[in-house]
Amino acid sequence: MLRVVPVWLVVTVGAVCVSLAVNPGAKGRLTQYGLNYANRVAQEVLKTFLQNLTIPDISGNQGSLKYSLKNIHSKSVSDIVSNVAFTPAENGLTIELKQFGIDVYTDYDLTYKVLFIPISASGGLNAKISDSSISLTVGLGVDSQSRPDIVSRRCSANIGSFSLEFKDSNLMNLIKGLFQNNLKSKLMEEICPFLEKEINENINAKVKTMPLTAEFANTFVIDYRLVAPLTIASSYLESSHKGEVFWKNDLITECPFTPNPLPDGVDNSKMVYLWLSDYLLRSFVYVAHTHDYLQYTISKDTLPESIKHYLDTSCSSKCAGIFMPKIGEAFPQSQLEVTIKSTSVPDVSLSDQLYVSLLGQVNISARLPSGDLKFLISAKMALSMSGNVNIQNNSISGNIYDFEVKLADVISNIKTVTVNQVTDFLESGLNILVIPEIKAIAKSGIKVPVLTDLVLKSPDVTFVQGAIVLSSDVIYQNIQ
């Protein structure tokens, strides 16, 4: 009957859980507003569960009473009054159920001795529990693998009223007072041990299934593991996460820098908040650069059929030979091959929007009709991009809407090719070939670390210096 009581914990901890570091790269917060919603959800979940309750057959002894109960099911459930509060002193939550009651029906078969005289009876039985209460405090911590950890701290239970009504047995109704209070005491003794086991084992295991990593672009993994114990204040719960990007096939090598301090949160008007520092983006571009991910080879072999002509040196429409006529004259009926590679870790910053600056090397060669490759041009390239961030389907995605290319130290075998011509060709080529790929990666999205049953409602993104802040309400999908 009480198995679903700790749903408060799953909904509550699940709403924020997004090696030690000096500062976290990400931080999550559940506010009192969010906790109140978790309480309302849990009330509905618990009442629905109890209304459809069926209990496996029970048999046993209680003093001189021997009983067998079958076909045990709920008949009615009273409204449940509950409250969930942050408990800073024990770094946890206190859950209280008050004034709840349930009527249960069962088929019974029992024997009872009165003055050594055995009495047997069978039939139907109504059990009514009312004006009952439970108070449960749980502590929230971090285990050895940097995952959330839940443990029961204190528990008390009281059954205000407990009565039995035997169908078609006036005798059992007359003598039920001899054992009814014993059954009530026995039931009260079982409630807290059951809840404590449920929390320490089943609910703790459920919370540990929260996704604390998120893969994107089939190549990178974001580490959302906890880097410090959960912080419980009087009006919020806060979690600190690593917030670092790793190469998918190397989840051990750390970045050679650490996160800057995240700004403090002052607004608690939404249910949940998630701070993501620029450390996440800086670790991403670091990993991408060191694993040669930020390099492109543009050739006939890498382009879709519809735009292969862009690399031709001879054409009547838009192609390399139109942008740089002297190359078309010197190497007709050839195709260009362009390689672009980052030469240092890109610079990323967050202020009023997202800014990315990449320094790289560009080499342009011509694939001659004979198959030979002829070097033409090399240059240092500075690529700058800017964009914003969106939230959709529990994922954070980017939108790159502006970019600029600048070239320097151009070395060319075609002396009459100008820097402007090469720049125009590269800008057009990047816009057709490379930028769409970068945009696709940005739009692929990064999953926010919440339980799969929770959906972000009316999320908003705010840029602050060195970080972005996601604020949102949530909806628990299992409640219609």
CB atoms within 10 A of CB 215: 15
Give pLDDT, residue 7: 45
Give pLDDT, residue 241: 92
- Are 61 and 179 in contact by the 8 Å Cβ rule? The answer is no
Give pLDDT, residue 22: 67
Per-residue confidence band for 245, with pLDDT thresholds at 50, 70 and 90:
very high
CA atoms within 13 A on the CB side of 228: 18
Q: If you average pLDDT over residues 172-198, what whole number do you get?
A: 82
pTM equals 0.77
Give pLDDT, residue 356: 92
Give pLDDT, residue 439: 80
pLDDT in tens, 60-93: 787 777 888 899 888 888 888 889 999 999 999 9
pLDDT in tens, 224-244: 889 988 899 999 999 999 999
Alpha-helical runs (H) found in 198-290: 204-207, 278-290
- Higher pLDDT, residue 15 or 265: 265
Going by C-alpha positions, the residue among 152, 149, 136 that lies closest to residue 229 is 149
Give pLDDT, residue 20: 42
The position carrying tokens 């939550």 is 93
Tokens encoding 348? 């990323």
Tokens encoding 397? 């995605």
Per-residue confidence band for 1, with pLDDT thresholds at 50, 70 and 90:
very low
Both ends of the chain: CA-CA distance in Å?
22
Which region among 37-46, 263-272, 449-458 has the lowest average model confidence (pLDDT)? 449-458
Give pLDDT, residue 182: 77
Instruction: Write down the mean pLDDT value for the chain.
Output: 85
Per-residue confidence band for 4, with pLDDT thresholds at 50, 70 and 90:
very low
Give pLDDT, residue 361: 95
Task: Please determine, for residue 94, whether its predicted confidence score (pLDDT) is greater than 90.
Answer: yes
Which region among 130-134, 237-241, 313-317, 437-441 has the lowest average model confidence (pLDDT)? 437-441
Task: Please determine, for residue 213, whether its predicted confidence score (pLDDT) is greater than 90.
Answer: no
- Are 117 and 72 in contact by the 8 Å Cβ rule? The answer is no
Task: Please determine, for residue 417, whether its predicted confidence score (pLDDT) is greater than 90.
Answer: no
d(CA 245, CA 26): 11
Give pLDDT, residue 478: 66
Give pLDDT, residue 333: 95
The angle subtended at Cα 125 by Cα 122 and Cα 130, nearest 5°, is 155
- What strand order describes the sheet that includes 220-223? 213-216, 220-223, 244-247
Q: If you average pLDDT over residues 416-438, what whole number do you get?
A: 81
Task: Please determine, for residue 50, whether its predicted confidence score (pLDDT) is greater than 90.
Answer: no
Give pLDDT, residue 152: 93
Q: Judging by DSSP bridges, how do beta strands 54-55 and 454-464 pair with one another?
A: unpaired
Which region among 15-24, 162-171, 387-396 has the lowest average model confidence (pLDDT)? 15-24
Tokens encoding 362? 């560009």
Task: Please determine, for residue 368, whether its predicted confidence score (pLDDT) is greater than 70.
Answer: yes
Percent of the chain past pLDDT 90, that is, above it, reads 35
Percent of the chain past pLDDT 70, that is, above it, reads 94
Give pLDDT, residue 144: 86
- Higher pLDDT, residue 448 or 100: 100
Single-letter code of the amino acid located at 246: F
Which region among 5-14, 216-225, 286-295, 425-434 has the lowest average model confidence (pLDDT)? 5-14
Tokens encoding 408? 């320097």
